[in-house]
Amino acid sequence: MKILERKFRGVYEIDLEPRADHRGFFMRVYDDKLFGEKGLHRQWVQENHSLSVARGVVRGMHFQFPPHAETKLVRCVRGEILDAFIDLRKGSPTFGKWDALVLSADNKKVLYLPKGFAHGFCTITENCEVTYKVDSYYAPQSEGIIRWNDPEVGIDWPVREPQLSDKDAKAPGIREFIEKHKGLDV
């Protein structure tokens, strides 16, 4: 596997390298030693799996406040998604900026996202399954959310009228988050 740092400090794109033959393929999706050499080792405490049956489903932009902030290791195991994230780390030179990465069963990429980011994704195909590991237990009282289409952030989503949960549809914008919290101390 290849671990490549993205434009935001601490965010990595991981390219998995399947070994194929006439039977199919085998690939390593996590290597504790290799992650440790890059300073990315975490004690993963939960693994989550979601299914979105329709194209154009948006889930996000979610995060947890400290002390329950999460590092995530995200992978699309079926279908294709645009995985997006917003830097909410107080004092970060990329604070309030976003980036995205296409994750799919075909491209076999994994996203390593450190604490301090709002995270979400949009399904590009039907029947998308996404798995992700986290290094902190889910704490509903620490949950935060930023509006998926906040014009101040300006994420370039592949859909204009997505299917959303009620919670995601009613999320506040980044300006409200900044006025109230100033950013995340992670």
Question: What CATH number should be reported for the domain holding residue 136?
Answer: 2.60.120.10
Identify each DSSP E strand in the chain by its residue range. 2-5, 12-15, 19-21, 24-26, 46-52, 58-64, 72-78, 80-87, 98-104, 109-113, 117-123, 128-134, 143-145
From 114, 120, 11, 10, select the one nearest 70 (Cα to Cα). 114
> How confident is residue 119, by pLDDT bands cut at 50, 70 and 90?
very high
Catalytic (active site) residue 137: no
Average pLDDT of the residues in 47-75: 98
Distance, in Å, from the CA atom of 1 to the CA atom of 40, rounded to the nearest integer, reads 14
The answer to whether position 32 is within a domain reads: no
Catalytic (active site) residue 132: yes
Alpha helices (H) in the chain, listed in sequence order: 32-37, 166-169, 174-181
Please tell me which residue in 62, 68, 112, 119 is annotated as part of the active site. 62
Please tell me which residue in 12, 68, 112, 132 is annotated as part of the active site. 132
Average pLDDT of the residues in 112-116: 98
The answer to whether position 139 is within a domain reads: yes
What's the chain's length in residues? 186
Q: What percent of the chain has pLDDT over 70?
A: 100
From 1, 21, 11, select the one nearest 108 (Cα to Cα). 1
Q: How much of the chain is in helix, strand and coil states, percent to nearest 5?
A: 10, 40, 50
Model pLDDT, residue 149: 97
Domain count for the chain: 1
Provide the residue range defining the domain that includes 170.
42-181
The answer to whether position 166 is within a domain reads: yes
The answer to whether position 6 is within a domain reads: no
> How confident is residue 37, by pLDDT bands cut at 50, 70 and 90?
very high
Average pLDDT of the residues in 9-15: 97
Model pLDDT, residue 133: 97
Q: What is the pLDDT of residues 162-185, one digit of tens each?
A: 999 999 999 999 999 999 999 999
Average pLDDT of the residues in 118-141: 98
Average pLDDT of the residues in 147-154: 97
Model pLDDT, residue 154: 97
The answer to whether position 14 is within a domain reads: no
Model pLDDT, residue 13: 98
What pTM did the predictor assign?
A: 0.95
> How confident is residue 145, by pLDDT bands cut at 50, 70 and 90?
very high
The answer to whether position 10 is within a domain reads: no
The answer to whether position 33 is within a domain reads: no
The answer to whether position 114 is within a domain reads: yes
Average pLDDT of the residues in 141-151: 97
